[in-house]
Amino acid sequence: MVLLRLLADHPAVSSVIPVSSSKAGDALAAIDPGLSSCYPKADITGGKLVSVDEAAAMKPDVVFAALPHLESARICEPFLGKSIVIDLSADFRIRNREVFRKAYGEEPPRPDLLPQAVYGLCEVYRDSIRKADIIANPGCYPTATLLPLIPILRSFPVENLITVNALSGISGAGKKAKIDNLFCERAENTCAYSPGKTHRHSVEIEQELLTMVPEVNLLFTPHLVPLKRGMNITTVITLKEATEKDAILSCLKDFYADSTFVQVVHPRIPETKDVWGTNRCDIGFHLEGKNLILMSVIDNLVKGASGQAVQNMNIRFGLPERQGLRLHGEY
Amino acid sequence: MVLLRLLADHPAVSSVIPVSSSKAGDALAAIDPGLSSCYPKADITGGKLVSVDEAAAMKPDVVFAALPHLESARICEPFLGKSIVIDLSADFRIRNREVFRKAYGEEPPRPDLLPQAVYGLCEVYRDSIRKADIIANPGCYPTATLLPLIPILRSFPVENLITVNALSGISGAGKKAKIDNLFCERAENTCAYSPGKTHRHSVEIEQELLTMVPEVNLLFTPHLVPLKRGMNITTVITLKEATEKDAILSCLKDFYADSTFVQVVHPRIPETKDVWGTNRCDIGFHLEGKNLILMSVIDNLVKGASGQAVQNMNIRFGLPERQGLRLHGEY
Amino acid sequence: MVLLRLLADHPAVSSVIPVSSSKAGDALAAIDPGLSSCYPKADITGGKLVSVDEAAAMKPDVVFAALPHLESARICEPFLGKSIVIDLSADFRIRNREVFRKAYGEEPPRPDLLPQAVYGLCEVYRDSIRKADIIANPGCYPTATLLPLIPILRSFPVENLITVNALSGISGAGKKAKIDNLFCERAENTCAYSPGKTHRHSVEIEQELLTMVPEVNLLFTPHLVPLKRGMNITTVITLKEATEKDAILSCLKDFYADSTFVQVVHPRIPETKDVWGTNRCDIGFHLEGKNLILMSVIDNLVKGASGQAVQNMNIRFGLPERQGLRLHGEY
Amino acid sequence: MVLLRLLADHPAVSSVIPVSSSKAGDALAAIDPGLSSCYPKADITGGKLVSVDEAAAMKPDVVFAALPHLESARICEPFLGKSIVIDLSADFRIRNREVFRKAYGEEPPRPDLLPQAVYGLCEVYRDSIRKADIIANPGCYPTATLLPLIPILRSFPVENLITVNALSGISGAGKKAKIDNLFCERAENTCAYSPGKTHRHSVEIEQELLTMVPEVNLLFTPHLVPLKRGMNITTVITLKEATEKDAILSCLKDFYADSTFVQVVHPRIPETKDVWGTNRCDIGFHLEGKNLILMSVIDNLVKGASGQAVQNMNIRFGLPERQGLRLHGEY
């Protein structure tokens, strides 16, 4: 639904075809009253949700698939080769079949297509995204964790143990009617969940880290905190050799010099409210001897999902990267 | 700060001059890190806050005055006659000097200018706003209360007693370091405050009601609820004659037929989350015999303040009324 | 579960028999881990939930029935005549069969027992509660609305129209897995719901008001606000004759002179945080001409449910009324 | 204020003398209306706050000092040798003068008394507390961090690097009128603060760890999360030798076998809501190879401050350790 809002205000998007297997025929306004009665970009379908086949027949330029894992790749099939596919599930993210099987409990649905898929971490893989037919939009935890880590790991040798402590707003859990997600369970409450390798995003992070370091001992602990939106990552690594604060600062600033959405805010400490509603990732750090604490924040529903998907579309279609995306938050 | 964000994204606004008496010379980014380092529209001042005199010398088309009551009118003086003034304080809202004196404890600062000032309730006074040199931007409570009430009072005779129960998010109190506004005081807490005529917005509402009914017994009770943003008004009136639901519905729909930002959502009940971050006012109602409950919600910082100010600018300068303003919320 | 906590710390309660039709046999600790592993008062059942029949065979002194409406009275049957029944449902609250049928869509389950049931609004019906075999524990909205209203209506003639605006924390909705109760739906959101006579508590309030005034035009609008607990009632009435603030203050203070749990805090305005976790009802008011605004706050899960149930037990068994109940909140 | 509430309900406390240097003479009820008008235990002072000298003249059995660091020790002086002193500041916590100076920027106020002071981590130093004249009540972060760590470090050899990620509710910041603590700054927001050794509690934790391991590389990162109360600690250590889950579980369970307030909830993951309002510390863990994640939660205002102070009083005076303290939370 955040995606629909982003597309509504995107100047280069003229028509939007809302798709639903189960609710085809329903009015869009009935599904999400917050969208208001006027969503003129959906006029192409009469303001109604249509089925996958109806949508495919309309030959859209780009398809955003925001379905559960395993289901997503299958739904994308009628569009493959005709439309650019931006998939928000994990189906095209994990390149190793064995790793996918362990994490998701099934074979990857279309392993044959994995070589064509590009991991859509925009600021890092921009060049490949420009040519990709399938873009695997990264998970929220991997996005926020990898953005500060990648420049550091590419520049400094580090010890194997990488400790990631993550805080997530409740919207990360989706809109399912579960006791665990009730207001009275989550307000005035925090807890860790799926610690260590029991969280699927752990293998997604690990896959990227292994492109830079030969071995990694990743310890990832996500927590739920009472936010509607927001993700706050604290990563602790140990450098093999002592270095200066300025070297860290330059490394991060240089890497993201041309990336408006990633802001190195050191010596300020990033706060989730500053990026709320935006496509930004704000990064800070603290160096103590050889220990380096990296702090990064995103809006899990924007840079951690729909916003990055739109950014990927912008890159793929040669549009200005910022188009239709917010740089300034609400606060 | 919400105003700066709105102007940043407004396509018809090319330059913004940030003004501060006390912080002239400071960088804008230092005042509000959430704005990010790049606010190119302020390049005209080198990204710095400037004094009132410096700003006046730059002859802007329009001045937004967002100062405390009594101070605001005085600061506007150097701009009067040169720029269009949109004042977010109460200084030009109350037309009766005696009423102003009672509510604000002082003489109105520029009573001579009151005849030139137009009350900027956009959907109601659009025609006068088009020609106004001074626009008195309405308060948040009056905006949300009057929008559903005015069409009804213009069409149906009602009893004198009008009961308004209002809920406001904490941002309504501004950003002052007061014990009362601390997180631990306001989270998991609600209370009424300034009940009845002790709240200044009560006289502002009353002034408008008296243009439609000869006598009014207004009972206004505002409450604080733990929201960052949002305002929810429940107004109870008694019709002199029984009527049908459909008559109420048509009355409201017809009045706002050409006003995108006011949406009559009946039979749904409006929720503040649907208008969060938008310039909308959503209206619902419940009719029981002769008793009519009107329900209206706004984002107090947008339609209740900066958003309506931008809408007033749009109207005054003949721009599309929606320009730079959001119709779809974040949720 | 709040009830179990209250009983755990009640010095006059030696054993607790936890009952569940559907989960008989399960360990209490599995149902509610917050209770900790040690709930020695349930040793009588081996720390397990038991069935209704097993519980009845143990002949408890008092039974608390906290079941959905219509189901509750039926479950109480095996205990009637043997144990004192304190029923937290509406089954014994509404004395008029026709009124019950309209509000609950069915016949009252045991109309024959209605004459024996006493409405357990402790401070008002203390004398009858002392002798009651069936105590109908009041709803949360009626408790908080009636406590300030009853003394006033018994002392001053008022106009028919009584407007009640109520704010409730989300725990009032129970612990059901509904989309509407999710954190992301309720945080940063408020809305009215079931306005006017569409809320069942409206008839419960009306029934009590009609014992004091011949005719009443009650307009009750409940709202959801993002609190875990707390209820805040703003009632507007119009006195037939002007009176002094002191007369109102004395009326309230005198009525509750011997009732520790009802505190008249005028000229302070009551706040829900002050009664959070307590069995208190704090009352304030504002008089403006003949219009009187009454403000009252309770913790909906304590004075609005389990706490008042324990208070009823205390009264019925001649225990100190305060025993096992908190007078001071957490904050 | 939490302390006053705990003492109000403590059966072994007959009189309470509320002390304030700056507000002596004021009524207790004016300072904290939530306490209600009746606090009979303060009748000894006529319900008023008294000065330090007046309090000392009344020769209390025990003094709780809840003052800012550096001020606390000085205020305790008139009581030393006459009353048992339980100090909630850091003044008697840090045994090394140099360490204190670095962390607090001044000499420890009474270094001569440090040898008499016992670190009041109840479950660990119970025997020494029984004989102590000065009890240094631990900080909230150290309490929640040390309780799971101490049994492990006493039983298993571990690598030097100990990473502690901590989440704290906003009440940890006290009741000062600061912009940073406003509702609108903290709601829907999280951030790290004072990372690494820049937080004073870091040295307090380190001091205790050094009693068990010869060298420690502690990396402590506290975060603010939008809770009124609650503290959630995630500690990552690496064991020198692989071990079994059961060995970890037994180690923790055995150590706390006789400590009601520390509950090992494995395989459940602890949640702050379960300990809200209680004096409990709930502990969980996750073992992955040699990496061990310890998870612990407390209510920062109870076990992290006033509750542990009362527990210390109970231990010191030979009272039942649980007396006046809650084991079951509100939820």
pLDDT at C316: 98
Query: Angle formed by the axes of helices A122-129 and A140-155, to 10°?
Result: 90
What is C158-197 written as a DSSP string? B-SEEEEEEEE-GGGG-S---GGGBHHHHTT--EE-S-GG
For B209, residues 6+ apart whose C-beta sits below 8 A from its C-beta are B146, B149, B153, B162, B216, B218
Sequence spans of domains, chain D:
2-138+303-316, 140-300
Q: What is the largest distance, in Å, between two alpha-carbon atoms of chain D?
A: 62
Catalytic residue positions of A, numbered: 140
Is D191's Cβ below 8 Å from some Cβ in A?
A: yes
What is the rounded distance in angstroms from the CA atom of residue B101 to the CA atom of residue C197? Answer: 42
Contact residues on chain D for A167, CB-CB shorter than 8 A: 167, 190, 223, 225
Give the three-state DSSP class for B297: strand
What pLDDT, in 10s, does the model give residues B71-88? 888 888 899 889 999 999
For A121, residues 6+ apart whose C-beta sits below 8 A from its C-beta are A138, A142, A143, A146, A147, A208, A308
What pLDDT, in 10s, does the model give residues B55-68? 999 999 999 998 88
Q: What is the largest distance, in Å, between two alpha-carbon atoms of chain B?
A: 62
pLDDT over 80 at B26, yes or no: yes
What pLDDT, in 10s, does the model give residues B287-298? 999 999 999 999
From the list D328, D292, D307, the residue with the least C-alpha distance to D122 is D307
- Which residue(s) pair with D83 in the sheet? none
From the list D133, D145, D255, D151, the residue with the least C-alpha distance to D212 is D151
What pLDDT, in 10s, does the model give residues A145-181? 999 999 999 999 999 999 999 999 999 887 888 889 9
Is C171's Cβ below 8 Å from some Cβ in A?
A: yes
Of chain D, the percentage scoring pLDDT greater than 90 comes to 71
pLDDT at C38: 57
pLDDT over 80 at C330, yes or no: no
pLDDT at B30: 77
Q: What are phi and psi of A257, to 5 degrees?
A: -55, -35
pLDDT over 90 at B32, yes or no: no
What is the rounded distance in angstroms from the CA atom of residue C209 to the CA atom of residue C177? Answer: 35
pLDDT over 80 at A301, yes or no: yes
Shortest CA gap B276–chain A (Å): 9
For residue C325, name the pLDDT band (cuts at 50, 70, 90): very high
- Which residue(s) pair with D46 in the sheet? none
Give the three-state DSSP class for A281: strand
Give the three-state DSSP class for A315: helix
pLDDT at D23: 86
Q: What are phi and psi of C234, to 5 degrees?
A: -120, 110
Q: Is the Cβ pair B228, D182 closer than 8 Å?
A: no
What is the rounded distance in angstroms from the CA atom of residue B319 to the CA atom of residue B321? Answer: 6
Radius of gyration, alpha carbons of chain A: 20
pLDDT at D331: 54
What is the rounded distance in angstroms from the CA atom of residue B207 to the CA atom of residue B194? Answer: 18
Residues B281, B297 contacting (CB under 8 angstroms): yes
Distance of CA A170 to the CA centre of its chain: 15
pLDDT over 60 at C37, yes or no: no
What is the rounded distance in angstroms from the CA atom of residue C233 to the CA atom of residue C109? Answer: 31
For A224, nearest residue in chain D (alpha carbons)? D271
pLDDT at D74: 85
Question: For the whole model, what pTM was predicted?
Answer: 0.94
Q: Is the Cβ pair D36, C8 closer than 8 Å?
A: no
What number of other Cβ atoms are within 10 A of residue B175's Cβ?
12
C122 catalytic residue (yes or no): no
Q: Which residue has the higher pLDDT, B38 or D144?
A: D144
Tokens standing for residue B162:
């009008």
* Burial class of residue C216, CB neighbours in 10 A (0-12, 13-18, 19+): middle
Section C197-226 average pLDDT: 94
Instruction: Find the CB nearest D327 among C36, C274, C277.
Output: C36
Separation in Å, CA A268 to CA B308, B312, D272? 33, 37, 29
What pLDDT, in 10s, does the model give residues C148-204? 999 999 999 999 999 999 999 999 887 888 889 999 999 999 999 999 888 999 999
Is B36's Cβ below 8 Å from some Cβ in A?
A: yes
Which single residue is written with the structure tokens 């050889």?
Answer: A290
Distance of CA C230 to the CA centre of its chain: 12
What number of other Cβ atoms are within 10 A of residue B32's Cβ?
16
pLDDT at A36: 61
What pLDDT, in 10s, does the model give residues B272-284? 999 999 999 999 9
What is the rounded distance in angstroms from the CA atom of residue B152 to the CA atom of residue B326? Answer: 27
Write out the CATH class of domain D140-300. Answer: alpha beta
What is the rounded distance in angstroms from the CA atom of residue C52 to the CA atom of residue B177? Answer: 56
Residues A294, A318 contacting (CB under 8 angstroms): no
Which DSSP helix (H) or strand (E) runs through B268?
Answer: none
Task: Name the stretches of chain D with pLDDT < 70.
Answer: 1, 33-38, 330-331
What is the rounded distance in angstroms from the CA atom of residue C106 to the CA atom of residue C145? Answer: 26
Tokens standing for residue D260:
């009601």
pLDDT over 60 at A38, yes or no: no
* Burial class of residue B257, CB neighbours in 10 A (0-12, 13-18, 19+): exposed
Instruction: Find the CB nearest A288 among D197, D273, D293.
Output: D197
Amino acid, single-letter form, for residue D204: E
Please work out, in degrees rounded to the nearest 5, the angle formed at the alpha carbon of residue D72 by the alpha carbons of D71 and D75.
90
Q: Is the Cβ pair A2, B330 closer than 8 Å?
A: yes
pLDDT at A70: 84
Instruction: Find the CB nearest C178 among A170, A177, A187.
Output: A177
Radius of gyration, alpha carbons of chain C: 20
Give per-residue burial for C34-44: e unless 16+ CB within 10 Å, then b. bbbeebebbee
Separation in Å, CA B16 to CA A115, B9, B61, B153, B192? 48, 11, 10, 40, 38
What pLDDT, in 10s, does the model give residues C101-152? 989 989 999 999 999 999 999 999 999 999 999 999 999 999 999 999 999 9
For B30, nearest residue in chain A (alpha carbons)? A268
Section B8-25 average pLDDT: 88
User: Is the bond preceding B195 in cis, omega lying within 30 degrees of 0?
Assistant: no
For D127, residues 6+ apart whose C-beta sits below 8 A from its C-beta are none
For C185, nearest residue in chain A (alpha carbons)? A183
For B174, residues 6+ apart whose C-beta sits below 8 A from its C-beta are none
Q: Is the Cβ pair A219, D293 closer than 8 Å?
A: yes
Judged by phi (left if over 0) then psi (alpha if -120 to 50, else beta), residue D46 lies in left
- The residues in B 233-252 lying below 8 A from C, measured between CB atoms, are 234, 236, 238
Q: Is the Cβ pair B190, C272 closer than 8 Å?
A: yes
pLDDT over 90 at A120, yes or no: yes
What is the rounded distance in angstroms from the CA atom of residue B247 to the CA atom of residue D241? Answer: 79
**On the CB side of B318, how many CA atoms lie within 13 Å of its CA?**
1
Whole-complex ipTM: 0.93
Is D277's Cβ below 8 Å from some Cβ in C?
A: yes
Distance of CA A21 to the CA centre of its chain: 24
Residues C208, C144 contacting (CB under 8 angstroms): no
pLDDT over 90 at A300, yes or no: yes
What pLDDT, in 10s, does the model give residues A188-239? 999 999 998 888 999 999 999 999 999 999 999 999 999 999 999 999 999 9
Which DSSP helix (H) or strand (E) runs through A144?
Answer: helix A140-155
What is the rounded distance in angstroms from the CA atom of residue B215 to the CA atom of residue B197? Answer: 15
What pLDDT, in 10s, does the model give residues D27-84? 887 777 666 655 778 888 888 889 999 999 999 999 999 888 888 888 888 998 899 9
What pLDDT, in 10s, does the model give residues B236-276? 999 999 999 999 999 999 999 999 999 999 999 999 999 99
CATH code for the part of the protein at B2-138+303-316: 3.40.50.720
Contact residues on chain A for C230, CB-CB shorter than 8 A: none
Is B11's Cβ below 8 Å from some Cβ in A?
A: no
Give the three-state DSSP class for B194: coil
For residue A281, name the pLDDT band (cuts at 50, 70, 90): very high
For A178, nearest residue in chain C (alpha carbons)? C177
Section B214-228 average pLDDT: 96
pLDDT over 60 at A331, yes or no: no
What is the rounded distance in angstroms from the CA atom of residue A261 to the CA atom of residue B123? Answer: 37
What is the rounded distance in angstroms from the CA atom of residue C102 to the CA atom of residue C123? Answer: 29
Query: Angle formed by the axes of helices B140-155 and B122-129, to 10°?
Result: 90
Amino acid, single-letter form, for residue A214: P
Distance of CA C29 to the CA centre of its chain: 26
Tokens standing for residue A275:
């990026």
Residues A287, D192 contacting (CB under 8 angstroms): no
Please work out, in degrees rounded to the nearest 5, the angle formed at the alpha carbon of residue A105 by the alpha carbons of A103 and A110.
90
